[in-house]
């Protein structure tokens, strides 16, 4: 019963609690319901946690497995590729980061007194972090700006290529965000070789 949705036992909850499970067993005609502690022990031994849930993203891409395999192989072979003149780079962005400053300086710790940090702050707007991780070397190249447009992304790619050794090929692993795939970024003057 714990592996089914509560609604199948006419329980209004979205996830089973221990009390809901006990009540559902008690409503079953002709059965001897387990005690709360016995039910807990049974769930524990079966490693079932019906009260817990995690989020996951279901891909609707029929080629997801093949694409994921290709990317994983790039990561696995990144060091060998590097020795052969091919560089694997993983890139992404983090937007909407608030830049805050404390209104008053932090007071240092003193004997019998903890550090005191001012609760009030001054806002300095938001920033977007564009970052590229060079897989075989661990190098990180980043740009911090106010926006995350296609032009910002193209400028970031240029910055990355300028800071890295000249290679025969660059493999960029990026997500499907439209700024990564704009025509300006796919132009021959854009990043050398393809993006995955």
Which tens digit of pLDDT belongs to each residue from 25-57? 888 888 788 898 998 999 999 998 888 888 888
Q: Is 10 left (phi over 0), alpha (psi -120 to 50) or beta?
A: left
Q: What is the pLDDT of residue 14?
A: 87
Facing residues of 118 across strands?
none
Query: Are 143 and 62 spatial neighbours (Cβ–Cβ below 8 Å)?
Result: no
Cβ burial of 1 (10 Å; 0-12, 13-18, 19+) is middle
From CA 142, how far away is CA 132, in angstroms rounded? 6
Q: What is the pLDDT of residue 196?
A: 45
pLDDT tens per residue across span 123-165: 999 999 999 999 999 999 999 999 988 889 989 988 998 999 8
From CA 136, how far away is CA 76, in angstroms rounded? 10
């Amino acid at each position: 019963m714990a592996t089914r949705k509560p609604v199948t036992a006419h329980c209004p909850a979205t996830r089973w609690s221990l009390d809901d499970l006990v009540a559902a067993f008690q409503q079953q005609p002709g059965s001897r319901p387990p005690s709360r502690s016995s039910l807990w022990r049974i769930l524990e031994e079966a490693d079932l946690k019906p009260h817990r849930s995690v989020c996951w993203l279901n891909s609707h891409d029929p080629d997801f497995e093949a694409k994921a395999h290709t990317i994983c192989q790039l990561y696995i072979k990144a060091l060998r590729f590097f020795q052969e003149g091919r560089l694997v780079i993983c890139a992404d962005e983090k937007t909407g980061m608030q830049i805050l400053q404390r209104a008053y300086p932090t007071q240092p710790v003193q004997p019998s007194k903890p550090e005191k940090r001012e609760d009030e702050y001054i806002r300095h707007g938001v920033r977007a972090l564009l970052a590229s991780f060079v897989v075989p070397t661990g190098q990180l190249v980043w740009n911090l700006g106010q926006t995350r447009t296609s032009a910002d992304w193209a400028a970031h790619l240029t910055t990355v290529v300028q800071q890295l050794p000249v290679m025969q090929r660059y493999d960029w692993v990026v997500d499907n965000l439209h700024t990564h795939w704009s025509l300006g970024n796919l132009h021959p003057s854009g990043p050398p070789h393809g993006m995955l």
